Structure 1
Amino acid sequence: MTESKAQNMSSAPLDAFSNLRVTSIWTFLQTIQWTEPWLMGLLAFHAFCFISTLFTCKYYRLQICLFLMMVGMVASAEYLNELAAMNWSLFSKFQYFDSKGMFISLVYSVPLLFNAIIIVGVWVYRTFCTMTELKTMQLKRKAARQQSQKKTQ
Structure 2
Amino acid sequence: MDALLEPLEALMADIREKWSELSGEQGILESLTEFAKAIDWTEPLVVSLLSFHAVLLLLVVAMRKNGSFQAAVFFLGVSIVFCAESLNKWMAANWRTFARQPYFDPNGIFMSTMLSGPIMLVLFLQLINYLWEASSLLVSLKRRQLMHQACQRRAESQDGQDSKKHK
Matched, 1:36 2:43: yes
Query: Map of 1:1-153 to 2, 5 A cutoff?
Result: 11-12=25-26, 23-153=30-160
Quote the sequence identity (%): 28
Q: Which of these two proteins has the greater Rg computed from alpha carbons?
A: 2
Match of 1:3 in 2: none
Q: How has the CA–CA distance of structure 1 residues 150 and 110 changed in structure 2, closer, same or farther, with 3 Å as cutoff? A: same
**TM-score of the two chains, using structure 2 as the length reference:** 0.76
Q: What residue ranges of structure 1 are gaps of 5+ in the alignment?
A: 1-8, 13-21
- Displacement of 1:67 in angstroms is 1.0
- Displacement of 1:65 in angstroms is 0.6
d(CA) in 1 for partners of 2:111 and 2:123?
Answer: 17
- Displacement of 1:10 in angstroms is 8.0
- Following superposition, which runs of at least 4 residues in structure 1 exceed 4 angstroms of deviation? none
RMSD: 2.0
- Displacement of 1:89 in angstroms is 2.0
- Which structure dedicates a bigger proportion of its chain to helix? 2
d(CA) in 1 for partners of 2:59 and 2:24?
Answer: 43
Q: What residue ranges of structure 2 are gaps of 5+ in the alignment?
A: 1-22, 161-167
SS in 2 for 1:29: helix
d(CA) in 2 for partners of 1:10 and 1:123?
Answer: 40
